[in-house]
Amino acid sequence: EVQLVQSGAEVKKPGESLKISCKGSGYSFTSYWIGWVRQMPGKGLEWMGIIYPGDSDTRYSPSFQGQVTISADKSISTAYLQWSSLKASDTAMYYCARLGGMTTVTNWFDPWGQGTLVTVSS
Amino acid sequence: QSVLTQPPSVSGAPGQRVTISCTGSSSNIGAGYDVHWYQQLPGTAPKLLIYGNSNRPSGVPDRFSGSKSGTSASLAITGLQAEDEADYYCQSYDSSLSGPSYVFGTGTKVTVL
């Protein structure tokens, strides 16, 4: 079974750093893109970026470029999303998901991780 | 900011048919890019419902169907059931001047009356 398991909920203060994880299993981790999606409280889904763990090729949404860093460690089948200085507006649920489809322009997201809730509050 | 527009809500009685529209533009759906649909039950992660405009993953009931035409796409739910009460999102690819990206719809809440 293809599965993505994310790290647990985090409570941080503004200005702190954070790295959350997404561990893949049940498939060849290096052969599929992994994406990150933000969902702010009561709001819709926003695509943040994707990474190809095979060679760490990374693409960012213009809205998130420079705000977060996406990385992966293929030796442990894990992708990461990190912030160097959190803001209250980063409070949200963050999902990772594997990309399916034959080409970049046809990709969909499946399956999804269970989500990591990040709360930033002083 | 979402570039795919969906109605905020739709509702129907059990057994009825409801449709959800997803309106894009010439840089996404109108450019021929595929549309995919997701179901998000309360308090859970999104789940793929339709991929490649009209294909159902294994395990998704045939009550769910998708279509695409021009700059829009639609998700239809026939024989509406209480368990279908959820948020639904469309997704596509966008090649606008700000850079290629994946885009989601604004989301539609389906209420079963």
Q: What's the pLDDT at A102?
A: 77
Q: What's the pLDDT at A107?
A: 92
Q: What's the pLDDT at A105?
A: 82
Has residue B98 got a pLDDT over 80?
Answer: no
Q: What's the pLDDT at A72?
A: 98
Lowest mean per-residue pLDDT among A14-23, B73-82, B96-105: B96-105
How many Å apart are CA B66 and CA A116, to the nearest integer?
30
Interface touch B51/A101, C-beta < 8 Å? yes
Has residue B42 got a pLDDT over 90?
Answer: yes
How many Å apart are CA B64 and CA B80, to the nearest integer?
9
DSSP state of A105: G
Average pLDDT over residues A66-75: 97
Average pLDDT over residues A84-99: 98
Lowest mean per-residue pLDDT among A41-45, A97-101, B10-14, B103-107: A97-101
Q: What's the pLDDT at A58?
A: 94
pLDDT tens string A11-69? 999 999 999 999 999 999 999 999 999 999 999 999 999 999 999 999 999 999 999 99
Q: What's the gap in Å between the CA of B79 and the closest CA on chain A?
A: 25
Has residue B79 got a pLDDT over 70?
Answer: yes
Residues in A closer than 8 angstroms to B9, CB to CB, are none
Average pLDDT over residues B62-81: 97
DSSP A23-85: EEESS-GGGS-EEEEEE-TT--EEEEEEEETTTTEEEE-TTTBTTBEEEEEGGGTEEEEEESS
Residues in A closer than 8 angstroms to B108, CB to CB, are none
Has residue B1 got a pLDDT over 80?
Answer: no
Residues in A closer than 8 angstroms to B102, CB to CB, are 35, 47, 50, 61, 107, 109
For B21, B61, B101, the CA distances from A64, given in Å and listed in that order, are: 27, 36, 11
Has residue B97 got a pLDDT over 90?
Answer: no
Q: In this prediction, what percent of chain A has a pLDDT beyond 70?
A: 100
In B, residues 24-63, which contact A (CB 8 Å cutoff)?
33-34, 36, 38, 45-48, 51-52, 57
Residues 6+ apart with CB under 8 A from B28: B3, B4, B71, B92, B93, B94, B95, B96, B103
Q: In this prediction, what percent of chain B has a pLDDT beyond 90?
A: 91
In A, residues 11-70, which contact B (CB 8 Å cutoff)?
35, 37, 44-47, 50, 59, 61-63
Interface touch A110/B107, C-beta < 8 Å? no
